[in-house]
Amino acid sequence: MQIGIVGLGRMGANIARRLMRGGQTCVVYDHAPEATQAVVADGATGATDLGDLVKKLAAPRSVWLMLPAGKITEDSLNDLYEILEAGDTIIDGGNSFYKDDIVHAAKLKEKGIHFVDVGTSGGVWGLERGYCMMIGGEKDVVQRHDPILSVLAPGRGDIPATPNREGRDTRVENGYMHVGPVGAGHFVKMVHNGIEYGLMQAYAEGFDILKHKSSTDLPEAQRYDLDIADVAEVWRRGSVVSSWLLDLTAGALAGNSTLDKYSAEVADSGEGRWTIEAALEEAVPAQVLSAALYARFRSREENSFADRMLSAMRFGFGGHKEFSPGLK
């Protein structure tokens, strides 16, 4: 099957490569010509702009967007709205907000253009391992793209089957799922990332407790000097906390046990925040997912107003000397 791919960053370029390895045909475009050239070198047809890309695709066309959510995706959708035709399909494989999908799909529908949202997990590992995909859209449109989706998906691999799944949609065991109408794909991916934040923070706090156990703030008799890298490794085997994130953690610690080459300022994408907004809309108590998101906010702050206010209150009530160094 032929597909156009727009956006050839870490994710988009590898998606094109995996598709071509799986026998599919890709017309690719990135606003950076060298990004386009790199994928052309691996067998894709390059395009110089969106118009050129559309011209190089046979109707009914399918265009996969793999762009940052927000303005860039928005602009490309608007441009494609002008130049695509009835019967064509746009697949948004990025991290767009699911409520935006619904607006986008409605607008494209005016011209008879289909819209599919695909939440895509796989990171830099997707090229080799495949991408886990959560898909929203019309049933037959999703079905028509199965040649693409089945190639991108991880497949069963050597992951043991879950019992009691007889008679269920077999795409799911292959790592891709048509989860519902437009927006549903990105909704499920959004929650997926919200969970990811929670899992990451759980490990981070636990290892922090292990790390601080050797702190000289503790009485000597209460200290253990633990090899954190080995602890991460041993938990990968037979322990209930084993996971892919732990594999990655063990890898990072084996190479740099103090983790001092890593920043302590942790970015968050929209999805973590939108997950909390969904929890608010649904009145779901998301204590852990929120706490994990806030830990990221906090990691990027220094000398916060909130903390200064606590100091000010302590001084006001108890006369505690809590002044900033310059003013002591």
Residues numbered 164-223 forming contacts with a second copy, rule: CB under 8 A: 164-165, 168-169, 172-177, 179-181, 183-184, 187-188, 191-192, 194-213, 215, 217-218, 222
Rounded to 5°, the CA angle 193-184-76 comes to 85
Q: How far apart are the C-alpha atoms of 176 and 149, rounded to whole Å?
A: 7
- What's the Rg (C-alpha) of the chain? 24
- Is 282 catalytic? The answer is no
- Smallest gap from residue 69 Cβ to a second copy (A): 15
Which DSSP symbol is given to 61?
P
Under the binding rule (CB under 8 A), the answer on residue 262 touching a second copy is yes
- Smallest gap from residue 35 Cβ to a second copy (A): 15
Contact segment (CB under 8 A) with a second copy among 17-25, 46-54, 72-80, 228-236 equals 228-236
Contact segment (CB under 8 A) with a second copy among 45-53, 67-75, 105-113, 274-282 equals 274-282
Rounded to 5°, the CA angle 8-109-24 comes to 35
Q: How far apart are the C-alpha atoms of 142 and 25, rounded to whole Å?
A: 18
Measured from the CB atom, the residue of 14 and 45 that comes closer to a second copy is 14
How many chain residues are in contact with a second copy, going by CB under 8 A? 159
Could you tell me the two tokens for 246?
A: 């732990």
Measured from the CB atom, the residue of 34 and 282 that comes closer to a second copy is 282
Catalytic residue, from 138, 196, 233, 322: name it: 196
Contacts 24+ apart (CB under 8 A), 45-50: 47/4, 50/6, 50/76, 50/79, 50/80, 50/83
Given a contact cutoff of 8 angstroms between Cβ atoms, the answer to whether 53 and 44 are in contact is no
Contact segment (CB under 8 A) with a second copy among 16-24, 39-47, 72-80, 294-302 equals 294-302
Under the binding rule (CB under 8 A), the answer on residue 273 touching a second copy is yes
Query: Is 77 exposed, middle or buried, given 0-12, 13-18 or 19+ CB atoms closer than 10 A?
Result: buried
Measured from the CB atom, the residue of 32 and 280 that comes closer to a second copy is 280
Under the binding rule (CB under 8 A), the answer on residue 227 touching a second copy is yes
- Smallest gap from residue 109 Cβ to a second copy (A): 15
Measured from the CB atom, the residue of 50 and 153 that comes closer to a second copy is 153
Q: Which among 2, 5, 89, 73 has a CA at the least distance from the CA of 39?
A: 5
45 contact partners, CB below 8 Å, separation of at least 6? 25, 26, 27, 28, 56
Q: Which residue has the tokens 């590992």?
A: 125
- Smallest gap from residue 239 Cβ to a second copy (A): 4
- Smallest gap from residue 138 Cβ to a second copy (A): 14
Taking CB under 8 A as the criterion, which residues in 305-324 touch a second copy? 305-320, 322-324
Contact segment (CB under 8 A) with a second copy among 16-24, 33-41, 141-149, 242-250 equals 242-250
Neighbour tally for 209: CB within 10 Å: 9
SS3 310: helix
Taking CB under 8 A as the criterion, which residues in 67-126 touch a second copy? 121-126
- Is 189 catalytic? The answer is yes
Under the binding rule (CB under 8 A), the answer on residue 48 touching a second copy is no
Q: How far apart are the C-alpha atoms of 18 and 27, rounded to whole Å?
A: 13
Measured from the CB atom, the residue of 81 and 125 that comes closer to a second copy is 125
Q: Which among 328, 300, 326 has a CA at the least distance from the CA of 315?
A: 328
Contact segment (CB under 8 A) with a second copy among 26-34, 44-52, 139-147, 232-240 equals 232-240
What residue type is 179 in one-letter code? V
Catalytic (active-site) positions: 189, 196
